[in-house]
Amino acid sequence: MNLPDKVTLVEVGPRDGLQNQSHTLTPAERVEFIERLSQAGLSQIEAGSFVSPTQIPQMANTDQVFAGLKSNDAVRYFALVPNLQGLEAAIDAGVKDIAVFTAASDTFTHKNINCSIAESLDRIALLMPVAQQTDLRVRGYVSCTLGCPYEGEIHPERVAEVAKALVDLGCYEISLGDTVGMGTPEQARQMIRTVSRQVPLPMLAAHFHDTYGQALANLYAVLQEGITVIDSAVAGLGGCPYARGASGNVATEDVLYMLNGLGIETGVDMNALLAANHYVCSRLDHINHSKVAAVLQPLHP
């Protein structure tokens, strides 16, 4: 069986997970949540986004969140930025790593950010010189890689084209998102094979939602293809406000349990992760979407 020895889990709960919740955490609560995640051994955490608070109030005061985080050389905290204004706010907040986003579906980008894929790439191109001048690392997100809520099937060649464009602009890593969670294992496998002809495998990450209950199966398939970076959210937090029917991200606890069972090293401690789960779910009054946490949580309150 061809599986990696080690996988990096990228925790997206504090941004992608919280942005679609009906309850908004205070900056202090968000800092506490993130600190608990870092204590669990997660080395890359998406800590927030610099977007309009009118559009996404859950991400308001992200500058205060970054100001409240303890310096930790073992953890990289990054933030999503949509435009130059967001980038400037991130730089002012001392952010060292940022993420930019587009999609493999024109209809989705129009619904999400009111532009085409090509226009979204042009917007990202405007950010890159500023990011390079300030030594920021830039991660790229591609949404709708295994299907679109508006267009349906997305051809892997389109995903590869968009991913390669982001690499050419200067992104160090491309996170391939199944935004609606509609992909199946063979689709996921073929998508990775196609994209990896344009972008080296070490530069690719899998970001799968679990709407149809396929996320773990899809991750297992792409692990066999050589993927070693997985995005996930504690308690299965998340969803997409612009993709009808999209449920949460695959739960970090569920991914960790699978990886532990496969003997794949992550450096993440399950008990500490469950403590972070308990903290955030109790603050959000949120139903826990992690099957593993639902079983183990009573044992580790």
The residues annotated as belonging to the active site are 240
Got the DSSP string for 32-92?
Answer: HHHHHHHHTT--EEEEEE---TTT-GGGTTHHHHHHHSPP-TT-EEEEE--SHHHHHHHHH
* Residues facing residue 251 across a β-bridge: 233
Burial-class residue 1 by CB neighbours within 10 Å (0-12, 13-18, 19+): exposed
User: Which H/E stretch holds residue 10?
Assistant: strand 8-11
In whole angstroms, give the CA distance from residue 18 to residue 232: 13
- Inter-residue contact 47 to 273 (CB < 8 Å): no
The answer to whether 277 and 288 are in contact (CB under 8 A) is yes
Distance separating alpha carbons of residues 228 and 201, to the nearest angstrom? 8
In our burial notation (b when 16+ CB lie closer than 10 A, e otherwise), range 176-198 reads bbbbbbbbebebbbebbebbbeb
Handedness of CA 17, 182, 254, 269 (dihedral sign): negative
Identify the CA nearest to 230 among candidates 3, 69, 34, 39: 3
The answer to whether 230 and 7 have CB atoms below 8 angstroms apart is yes
CA distance 69 to 67: 6
